[in-house]
Amino acid sequence: MHEINIAKQIYEKLKDKKPKKVKIAVGELCDFFPEEIKETLETLTGWKVEVIEEESLVECGCGYRGRAEILEKSHGYIVYRCPNCKGKPKVIKGDSVRILGYE
């Protein structure tokens, strides 16, 4: 269901621009899959949607800075950790959806 709300937000931001094609980035730490937002946005708007999956960047108290280790991901949740100490890192990027461009 998160992807429906995000698709509506993207639509509201771009509807006055009347795009035919939209390119978005979906962070790998989002709790839905890139294909879900693509399908939802295309169905909602009729736009052609290109989705790029963006790698995560996390920082941990142990000093690790890099990509999160994803343990499990399904619609509605994601479980990840620091690959170094197995703790809960702070997310720097890769947990959001961004509009990269439109035509």
pLDDT of residue 3: 84
Closest CA to 103 of 4, 35, 29, 23: 23
Q: CB neighbours of 18 closer than 8 A, spacing ≥ 6? A: none
pLDDT score of 88: 97
Residues of the chain with pLDDT under 70: 1
Full residue range of the structural domain in which residue 28 is found: 2-102
Q: What is the pLDDT of residue 75?
A: 84
**pLDDT confidence of residue 1:** 56
- Burial class from Cβ neighbours inside 10 Å (0-12, 13-18, 19+) for residue 31 reads middle
Query: What's the domain count of the chain?
Result: 1
Q: What is the CATH number of the domain that holds 17?
A: 3.30.2320
What is the pTM for the complete model shown? 0.87
